[in-house]
Amino acid sequence: MIRAATWAALVLLVAAPLVIVFGMGFGTPIAGVPPVIPPFGAAGWQGSFEAWSLLLADNFYLDTLLRSLRLATVTAALCLALGFGMALGIASAAPRRQALLLALVLLPFWTGSVLRMAAWVGLLRDGGWINAVLMQAGLITEPLPLLYSEGAMLVGMVHGYLPFAVLPLTAALTKRDLRLEEAAADLGAGRATVFLTVTLPLAAPAAAAAFLLVFIPAAGEVVIPEVLGAPDSMLIGRAIWGEFFQTRDWPQAAALSTALLALLLIPMALYQRLSVVR
């Protein structure tokens, strides 16, 4: 009975919404509430392929998708590199201090994602803190155009997603058997060799999980690019948001969502394989 109930919850809250998104990609936008004619009506099929043909024919959407994947890759790589170093540092601390260090990683999160992005705006804008400090120091005379750029967006993304990389890496690195590294060192391996041939391979599954745990949500991120990114470099999350809230073109938003999901299908399946306890 409990299995039937959980099936019902999953079908209603997870499967059905996704199926509806897929179907909505073949709807027709109208001026009304809701602003759409569904692809199936009383008379049967009444759908259109307009949203999908626009998506596939217009380079704007394809460029947007590719740019999103590229930025998500850079974000995930940066988070992985910095997160790996941090996780090694936490794992090599005394057990009592590990909890404190993890708390220090997580606590900034509690200010909330919107407020943290507001802080970056305050730091990076033309009259902001960083420019003011640099001008006071006499290093620059004109404010640097830091905000609303790809760089500002990457700073925000790494700031937002870094803990997602640190947590799985710390879990894996604290559990590793230190004797393996000692044995390698005893047999004459240098520190770099020990790291590359023992530590890194041991942590590879966790590193892959950490990369995906950042990459997948970053690919569809809305808030950070909206607040910090350049207005002309459109990302897919913002595009879906805009089609829905501004243009009120639900079929286009649904088709873009379906395309994003299709591109993320392999990373999502990989992540589930790496993380799910079976």
Partner 1 sequence: MKRAFLALGLGFLWAPVLLMAAYAFSESRVPFQWGGFSTRWFTALAANERLLEAAWLSLRIAAASASLALLLGLALGWVLARHGHFAGRPIFGALAGAPLVLPEVVTGLALLLLFVGLQALTGWPAQRGAMTVWLAHSALGMAYVAVLVQARLASLDPALEEVAADLGASPLAVFGTVTLPLIVPSLAAGWLLAFTLSLDDVVLASFVSGPGATTLPVYLFSQLRLGMTPEANALAVVMLGGAAVLGGIAWVIRRPG
> In whole angstroms, how close is the CB of 240 to partner 1 at the nearest point?
5
11 binds partner 1 (CB under 8 A): yes
Of the residues 74, 123, 154, 171, which one makes contact with partner 1 according to CB under 8 A: 123
> In whole angstroms, how close is the CB of 278 to partner 1 at the nearest point?
8
94 binds partner 1 (CB under 8 A): no
Sign of the C-alpha dihedral, residues 245, 251, 256, 260? positive
Angle, helices 200-219/150-175, rounded to nearest 10 degrees: 140
Sign of the C-alpha dihedral, residues 29, 32, 34, 37? negative
CA atoms of 54 and 57, how far apart (whole Å): 5
3-state class (DSSP) for residue 40? strand
Strand-pairing partners, residue 36, are: 29
Cis peptide before 29 (omega within 30 of 0): no
8 binds partner 1 (CB under 8 A): no
Q: Give the nearer residue to partner 1 in terms of CB position, either 112 or 188.
A: 112
Residue 160-199 contact track with partner 1, rule CB under 8 A, x = bound: --xx--x---------------------------------
CA atoms of 258 and 250, how far apart (whole Å): 12
Of the residues 31, 45, 110, 136, which one makes contact with partner 1 according to CB under 8 A: 110
249 binds partner 1 (CB under 8 A): no
Q: Give the nearer residue to partner 1 in terms of CB position, either 128 or 205.
A: 128
Backbone angles phi, psi at 45, to 5 degrees: -60, 125
- How many angstroms from the chain centroid is the CA of residue 97? 29
CA atoms of 202 and 192, how far apart (whole Å): 15
CA atoms of 258 and 52, how far apart (whole Å): 10
Q: Tokens standing for 179?
A: 């004797």
Of the residues 219, 225, 249, 252, which one makes contact with partner 1 according to CB under 8 A: 219
Site for partner 1 in 145-164 (CB under 8 A): 158-159, 162-163
- How many positions of this chain bind partner 1 (CB under 8 A)? 86
Q: What is the DSSP letter of 28?
A: E
- Contact segment (CB under 8 A) with partner 1 among 40-48, 110-118, 175-183, 201-209 equals 110-118
> In whole angstroms, how close is the CB of 265 to partner 1 at the nearest point?
10
Of the residues 61, 241, 249, 252, which one makes contact with partner 1 according to CB under 8 A: 241
237: nearest Cα among 82, 27, 72:
72
Of the residues 129, 182, 183, 201, which one makes contact with partner 1 according to CB under 8 A: 129
> In whole angstroms, how close is the CB of 102 to partner 1 at the nearest point?
11
> In whole angstroms, how close is the CB of 11 to partner 1 at the nearest point?
8
31 binds partner 1 (CB under 8 A): no
274: nearest Cα among 207, 196, 217:
207
Amino acid identity of residue 83, one-letter, is G
Of the residues 98, 113, 149, 233, which one makes contact with partner 1 according to CB under 8 A: 113
139 binds partner 1 (CB under 8 A): no
Q: Tokens standing for 111?
A: 């200010």
71 binds partner 1 (CB under 8 A): no
